[in-house]
Structure 1
Amino acid sequence: MELPAMNRFLILSAATVLSLTTSFAAAPAELERYNVVWKTPSQNASGSMPIGNGEVGLNVWVEEDGDLRFYIARTDAWSEASRLMKLGGVRVSLTPNPFAKGAPFRQELKLRDGCIEIAASDVRLKVFVDANAPVIHVVGESKQPLGVKTALECWRTEKKVLTGGELGSSWTMQAGPPEIEVWESADVVKDAGGAVTWYHRNEHSCVPLTLKHQSLEKFAHLVKDPILHRTFGGSMTAVGFVAERAECGRGLSAPTASAGQSPQGRGAEAPPTFQSVLRSVKPVKRFAIRIATHSAATDSPAAWEKQLADIAASSADAAAQKATAAWWNAFWNRSWVFVEGDQAATVALPANQHPLRIGADSGGGSKFRGAMSRATIFGRALTDAEVVSLASGKPGDVAAVANGRLVGWRFSAAPEGAKVVGALKFEEQDGVAVAAFGGGHIEVPNDTCLALTNSFTLEAWIRPDAGSKGARIFDKLTAGKGDGFLFDTHPGRSLRFITGSHAMAVNDVLQPGAWNHVVAVFDAVADGRRLYLNGKLLKAEGGGGMEQPTPSLVTRAYVLQRWMTACAGRGNFPTKFNGSIFTVDPELTDPKQKFNPDWRRWGDCFWWQNTRFPAWSAVANGDYDLCAPVFRMYRDVLPICKARAKLYYGAEGAYFPETMTSFGTYANRDYGWDRKGKQPGDVACKYWCYSWQQGLELVALMLDCHERTLDAKFLADELVPMAREVLRYFDTRFQRDASGKLVISPTQAVETYWFDVVNDTPTVVGLQAVLDRLLALPKDTVPASDRKFWVKMKAAAPPVPVRTEEGKSYVPPAEKFDPKRNNCENPELYAVWPFRLFAVGRPGLEAGIETFNRRGAKIVTGWCYDGQCAALLGMTDEAKKQILHKVRNSHRNFRFPAMWGPNFDWLPDQDHGGNILLTLQHMILNTDGDKIHVLPAWPKDWNLHFKLHAPRRTTVEGRVRDGKLVNLVVTPKAREKDVIK
């Protein structure tokens, strides 16, 4: 029987976790300032609040004139196709309805208590998930008796064959040959007596097919199939309620519809013809609905139902409320970060002295060919309604919006004071005054009003010629550099908007030979960017979560992301980077994805590059229990990974694929469906077929946890065995040169450099950093044979590649490599983070800074980790700029401020959230062995109250006021001597 993860051994010993993370003291009072409060109901799941207990997660929202609704998810609800699915949805209906339009309403996420409280009219509701059991509680009271009905929303009502874009959410099984049908079964729903029970059961699994396809079927005994016979679902009960099956109504058994659209019109799946409900026998003033959830591989559905009944009996309402509040209060007391002074900061773009160019770039290229009839610049971010007004007229009209207009031209003549370069005419065409671009462009002299370093809007009527390639509309930067802004049609028939280092685009949307009204908006306060065509919003990035004023955007982002990580981070599997367990209807994020809530972009697999961020960000907070699911999964797949290394490459030890299924294999498309003429070790995916550093970074993460906990059992049972197998792979897989050094080849430098790579930097710095730290462990804590092996491997580890140009040293992506870039990750920065060979207080700091400054991709969102690199290197201004960008990345369609992304991944983007925590942590505290660097990259104009964890069971607490560190408290006191201010 699989028990809820929080109730079983979490790899780190329970005594260690308790001694390090609990206290009778309360978390700081500042926490209440970051409760999320909404004073109006929501339209759909885009207005949901996330809540959970580490294994079970809910998205909770209230519909105006509707009901209390929530989706239920778990970290281990794997389908037959290896998709991580929702358990289902629940709708709580009250009669008379307290959520009537215009009625008083308040919904509050109470962080300290771990619950959501809702007040509407005379009704009070509380929703929480038991911190110690996978049980959901909905408790209500009312001054007047209410009729209460709670309905199960189940959209998996028949066998579902996955095809096309929907099959893409099974990364493991997508794009296979036509004879392989990928399907999922219908859910089973039972309503009898006083309970509604439902489950999804997998009577078949994609694991055997996958093992056979990858030549691993003879090792099937080494694989614990997480899919076959897995049964997941729940049981809904309430005292004084009866279960019944009623006719479906109001979309009760369908996923959320978009605003103004019925569930039946979503184009995904037809709703069922019934609903299973619990109904109060009579109107009540108080009620308590309890939903027990469970996921396990069992011999039969009956065995699963018996386990579920035991779970349901373990969570009494009043006791669960008290225990849950106590758990969350102790959690918030583990550590904290509260910032003051950042709220007034906006995301400023670089200023430059370039003229404003219309129709060409700084070198005279990217020429616009066609006609423009109006071009306007506003010194503020226009609203959606204002953009509609601008587009409502016709080319040549006076702009319908005047407020905030800086400059505007209707092109009846050459703009006053501007320079016309090349072939360009100002003429009338079809009754419209236009600038006819025949290869020329307009240059408006630089002026302070055109600096546009803060919020602005660009709008124009354009008619590009047929066959026109990517061409500038507005341009004020150096071509190829991020020192200003541009708005163009690159690569043709498209819209692209670049502000500083940030680029966004929508392809194939313009109509050549026709008039197109185009708008680009930059909101410096919310760090939002929007693109419009003919008054319609095409794409928006950032700019969300601004509904509720907050004392500090940085603090709010930190607190709410930590909340989300804890709500999903203690489960049977690691946090999914692409939405965690808080995904909702995908069309609310991307209107093209009209699937049910089981869909997510990038599907089921665990990319190490992405999975790592929630775990790394938990360490400095003292949230070691949130690292445990990562360690557990990689420990569980170690046997099959060892067998694969031997079969594929004749090597001992183990390596972990960059993109790995929950059971340790490659995804089948990545491995390659077509195996004709290929050996078992020939992996098709060029993005990481020869990427090896994953295991080294896993060991580094384990070392970080051990250095803080000093947990001897974790060291002996988990860390040393993992390090042994990871290092044995390198020892036996690669040849040595004449001097005895390993030659890491074939290899690649992460996803960026694929060809002719030797001794890639991530692997080399990983070997050096991990071996140094292993050898620093006390001799009496590790086996002598392992230490002897580490000494051997240290001698064989290749040196970190360093180059010097014009007197400046830096780290390249590899010792040797073809410079063609195939992705935007910077492998050379692995020397800074995560392996921390170059950082404040370490040798070669200047080389680290030069490496950072030379990085090929400069990106502040998603899985890009420039922020913590800047902080580690003591680059305060850069780290500050990075964090201010990151905390404004909320999706504008969503109410909850920590719904990041989707960026490269999906929403909420847990890579991005993890990087927010990591950047801020490293700005405050960096450690190197026993040394504790406090405030290595902290802005002098920001105040701070913090408590973070350091090695040797140490906490560091302090305040910054007016640029000075005050009230520094180091526990234990003996560690004060190791603090470097």
Structure 2
Amino acid sequence: MLAFALGFVSLCCTLLVAPVGAVRLPDAYDVSWTTQSNNSAGSMPLGGGDIGLNVWSENDTILFYIAKSGTFDENNSMLKLGRVRLNLDPNPFAAGTFRQTLKLNDGFVLFEGAGNATMKIWVDVFNPVIHVELHAAQDVMLNAAYESWRTSDRVMNLRGNNRAEQEQSSWSFNNATTYADATTFHNGGVRMTHHNLDTTVFDFTVAQQHLAEYKETMYNPLASNTFGLWMYSPDLAPANITEGRYVNTTFKAWNLRSKAAKSSYNLQIVAGQAQGSTESFQSTLDTVAKSAGNNTQAATIAWWHSFWDRSYIIINEDAGPNDGAFQVGKNYQIFRYMQGCNAFSAWPLRFNGGLWTFDPVFVNPDAAFTPDYRRWTGGTFTAQNQRLVYWPLLKSGDFDLMKPQFDYYARITSNAQLRGRVYWGINATVFTEQMDNYGLPSPKEYNGAEELEGAGPRPDSFPVGMEYNTWLEHLQDTANEFVDMILQANMFTGLDVSPYLDFIENQIMWFDLFYQQQHRRADPFALTGWNYASDSGNGSLVIYPGSGAETYKVAYNPSSTISGLRKIVNDLLQVAPAYTKGNQSYFENLLLRIPETPLRFQQGKPCISPAQGYSRIQNTEIPQLYPVFPWGEFGLGMPNLTFATNTYELDTETQDFHGNKGWNQDVIWLARMGLTTQAANYTLDRWSDSTIYRFPVFKGPNYDWSPDINHFGAASIALQEMLLQTFADSNKQIRLLGAWPEDWNVRFKLHAPMNTTVEGSVKGGEWEELVVEPEGRKVDVVFGQK
């Protein structure tokens, strides 16, 4: 189906009209600049639906990059749709008469200039259309240029400056080519189309991983993928094609110029992506374009108002922008706005820049590549990082925003099942880390990355289904968190899990069937009560060889896997007693066979162990604290809290692993353990205004890229957990202010399981108001750390 039609319509329609008395964020949350920026690194994010813009002004010119989800090319790079440059003569927005503001409540960017001139840029939430609306006090000439750097085929730099440009793709060891777009003047505007060639990196991956005979039946999002845009204004006409260079990248510009000087202009840019022929894509693009000028902003503004009313955390709002806690509340809301820009996407919001990457040389001077570049690719989904973007959407009540991530796993389940059957003869899924958007390991992780790093070619004896990668070998449990997100979404709001049961059940069953198979090869007499014919029985589950995140390798019963399996099986039994593939007794039996989370002594105190045994420590993650988050086995209101705090404070192997950036989870663990002072200090640091880039929540690259989306995903989880915790007592208990500083005044609205919302305001450590809906849930509320 063409991706012009935005999904999740039934929920959207209920949100068109904001309720009377809906919350309004403080106007001080708006980001406003009175000077122009130096370059694209000084841009601000804008978006809606599944479109993201970087908007900025430099040298008296207004520019914006355009990104859209699903724009995966032959190499599995996520390409931008291009750049737009706006020049006015005379220019009311020149330096000295200039203001640029992100109007957060209404979801648009406003430029203000001399003579009350305004330029409003907004993205239609319900239609894939960007609008530019200009109103000046006098007639002006406008030149709108569409700029593209993909005007000819170009081989990507493989290892230039010790940084491979091909990191933006799924390649690492071929001289991959970025193919040119087709750009032309069309119907009085500019049209760009990119249609993938018949052969893509998917074909290479399938052959590399010994699945070529199944290729025609496999899910393939790159086949005939087509994307592009059409830019038009009734007041502009095609002019000349010019050339230029921005930062380190040459480009061509297709210029649209004023037919006559005017005081007002309306420019529309229709963006699209679909799998199909170029002709059908362009026909649909034209159809959408015909009605683009009739769309008003009212419905989009109403959607944003309802979005803000759904959930909010506003802290020390009277203190002003220099107060650290005020910045926490402000930047939390701004980041949630960025998440809302991908509300109706078919694809998850990327952890490594989202929809708002900019010229990469401003992130890393060695990455002097095109604006399409981002580290860790555009089409490879790193579950360890993606999860942090999506966990906070439960408590914010943004269940519709979670759908793209859930649907991603539903789409690739068939390919992951194929891997289980072909490689191990097991009828269950195997999901790896660093997995491409069609459910297979990224070829660079399957083989190529190790070869480049000097590990030598992949040995013929190495299992064909396993990634030949020292970081990722045996790491098969990262999809467990998305299983639990789906189950939790049901607990929170009654989400229908039936479209995802194939993914959920197969992911759980993999650990049982695969590890029983592995174990009986080593010790067939140890599985007492095991029926080999039916692959069922009462034998205790042994996870070996496993992996405690990417850190504890060749692990025996890693705690992150064991604790997670227990949690997701428990939640499945609570949510879905009727199964499509398995049966209730099977999962009840499996629950009994999952071993206890391992413990050990560190500095004389009982701690959570990363595993019962392991061969090496390789990365800097701390999987022995995953039973605190995400799995909720230890924490406030749970038994043996000291096991968790001891692990955090006394574990001798991981003291150097603690941190407060990117995917580090310390700030979440501190909140869940009720260590208020440390959690608050980490939260203040996480949410402080960026000192690297101009926009306050553009940070990074940290471990990944800029803007670092999972950095603020983790920060969002922690802030919510400081305020409201629900993981104890099978999510029935609602704990408020479990790690909340007394000097942080707050008004908030968050969501809890059983279709519950909690609204309140706290001032000076005292409750001014608390409303729990439904009212019967008030009996489940506990306060503080009691």
TM-score, normalised to structure 2's length? 0.91
Q: Does 1:898 align with 2:697?
A: yes
**Tell me, what secondary structure is at the counterpart of 2:297?**
helix
- How far is 1:807 from its partner? 6.4
Q: Which residue of 2 aligns with 1:663?
A: 438
Partner of residue 535, structure 2: none
1:647/1:551 CA distance change after superposition, 3 Å: closer
Deviation at 1:914, TM superposition (A): 0.3
Residues in 2 aligned to 1:214 and 1:320: alpha-carbon distance in whole angstroms = 50
Name the aligned partner's letter for residue 710 of structure 1. G
Using the alignment, how far apart are the partners of 1:172 and 1:302 within structure 2?
Answer: 27
Paired position in structure 2 for 1:677 = 460
Match of 1:223 in 2: 218
Corresponding position: 1:934 with 2:736 = yes
**1:655-804 to 2 correspondence within 5 Å?**
655-673=430-448, 674-678=457-461, 679-711=463-495, 714-718=496-500, 720-735=501-516, 737-738=526-527, 740-755=539-554, 757-777=555-575, 779=577, 785-804=582-601
**Is 2:35 the counterpart of 1:40?**
yes
Amino acid at match of 2:720: Q
Q: Hey, what's the Cα distance between the residues in 2 that align with 1:766 and 1:744?
A: 12
- Counterparts of 1:524-543 in structure 2, within 5 Å, are none
Structure 1 residue 651 and structure 2 residue 627: aligned? no
Question: 1:932·1:950 contact (CA, 8 Å) conserved in 2?
Answer: yes
1:865-944 → structure 2 map (5 Å cutoff): 865-888=665-688, 890-892=690-692, 894-928=693-727, 929-944=731-746
The yes-or-no answer on 1:271 pairing with 2:55 is no
Following TM superposition, by how much is the alpha carbon of 1:562 offset from its aligned partner in structure 2, in angstroms?
0.7
Which of 179, 182, 185 aligns to 1:188? It is 182
- Aligned AA (1:859): G
Instruction: Give the drift of 1:936.
Output: 0.8
Higher helix share: 2
Matched, 1:135 2:135: no
Amino acid at match of 1:814: A
Q: 1:336 aligns with which of 312, 328, 349?
A: 312
1:237 aligns with 2:232: yes
Q: Offset at 1:134?
A: 1.0
For residue 810 of structure 1, what is the aligned residue in structure 2? 607
Call closer, same or farther: CA 1:233–1:916 in 2, change over 3 Å.
Answer: same
> Any idea what SS the aligned residue of 1:333 has?
helix
Distance in 2, matches of 1:226 and 1:661, equals: 10
Q: 1:168 to 1:891 in 2, by over 3 A?
A: farther
Distance 2:216 2:594 in 1: 35
Matches within 5 A, 1:530-569: 552-569=326-343
The change in CA–CA distance for 1:20 and 1:868 in structure 2 (over 3 A counts) is farther
Matched, 1:174 2:171: yes
Shift of 1:320: 3.0
C-alpha separation in 2, matches of 1:570 and 1:114 = 15
State the AA in 1 paired with 2:470.
Answer: K
Task: Specify the SS of the correspondent of 1:78.
Answer: coil
Three-state SS of the structure 2 residue aligned to 1:325 is helix
* Residues 865 and 915, structure 1, Cα contact 8 Å, conserved in 2: yes
Question: Are 2:636 and 2:674, in contact at CA under 8 Å, matched by a contact in 1?
Answer: yes
User: How many Å separate the matches in 2 of 1:698 and 1:551?
Assistant: 31
Q: Check 1:914–1:551 CA distance in 2 against 1; reply closer, same or farther (3 A cut).
A: closer
CA contact (8 A) 2:56 2:63 kept: yes
**Taking structure 1 as reference, are residues 151 and 549 closer, same or farther at Cα in structure 2, changes over 3 Å only?**
farther
Judge conservation of contact 2:49–2:124 (CA < 8 Å) in 1: no
- Which SS does the other structure have where 2:84 is aligned? strand
Matching residue's letter, 1:210: T
Q: 1:210 aligns with which of 196, 205, 209?
A: 205
Counterpart amino acid of 1:280?
Answer: S
1:748 Cα shift?
A: 1.4
Distance 2:507 2:376 in 1: 27
Per-residue deviation, 1:655: 2.0
* Correspondence for 1:972: 774
- Which residue does the alignment assign to 2:523? none
With normalisation by structure 1, the TM-score equals 0.73
Query: Once the 2 structures are TM-superposed, how far is the Cα of residue 965 of structure 1 from its aligned partner?
Result: 2.3
**Deviation for aligned residue 1:778:** 6.7
2:78 aligned with 1:84: yes
Cα distance in structure 1, aligned partners of 2:576 and 2:61: 59
User: RMSD of the alignment, in Å?
Assistant: 2.2
Partner of 2:416: 641
- How far does residue 211 in structure 1 lie from its aligned partner after superposition? 0.4
CA shift, 1:247, in A, is 3.3
Distance, in Å, in 2 between the alignment partners of 1:582 and 1:293 is: 16
Q: Which runs of 5+ in 1 are unaligned?
A: 258-265, 345-545
* Structure 2 gap ranges (5+): 449-456, 520-525, 529-538
Letter in 2 for 1:106: R
Q: Is the 8 A contact 2:36 2:56 kept in 1?
A: yes
Alpha-carbon shift at residue 26 of structure 1 (Å): 4.5
C-alpha deviations, 1:761-805, integer Å up to 9, x for none? 1110011111122222374x6569532221021011121112245
Percentage identity across paired residues of the two chains? 31
Structure 1 segment 54-65 matched on structure 2, within 5 A: 54-64=49-59
Given that 1:114 and 1:128 are in contact with CA atoms closer than 8 Å, whether structure 2 keeps it comes out as yes
Structure whose residues are more often strand by fraction: 1
Amino acid aligned to 1:293: A
SS of the equivalent of 1:765 reads helix
SS at 2:122's partner residue?
strand
Change (3 A) 1:961 1:732: same
Q: 1:938 to 1:342 in 2, by over 3 A?
A: farther
C-alpha change, 1:581 and 1:885, in structure 2 (3 Å) is same
Moved more, 184-193 or 745-754: 184-193
Measure the CA separation in 2 of the matches of 1:738 and 1:137: 65
Q: Superposed, which structure 2 residues align to 1:85-100 within 5 Å?
A: 85-100=79-94
Cross-structure match for 2:659: 859
Distance 1:953 1:777 in 2: 14
In the comparison of the two structures, how many residue pairs are matched? 743
1:53–1:566: 8 Å Cα contact kept in structure 2?
Answer: yes
In the aligned structure 1, how far is the partner of 2:472 from the partner of 2:650? 23
Amino acid at match of 1:671: Y
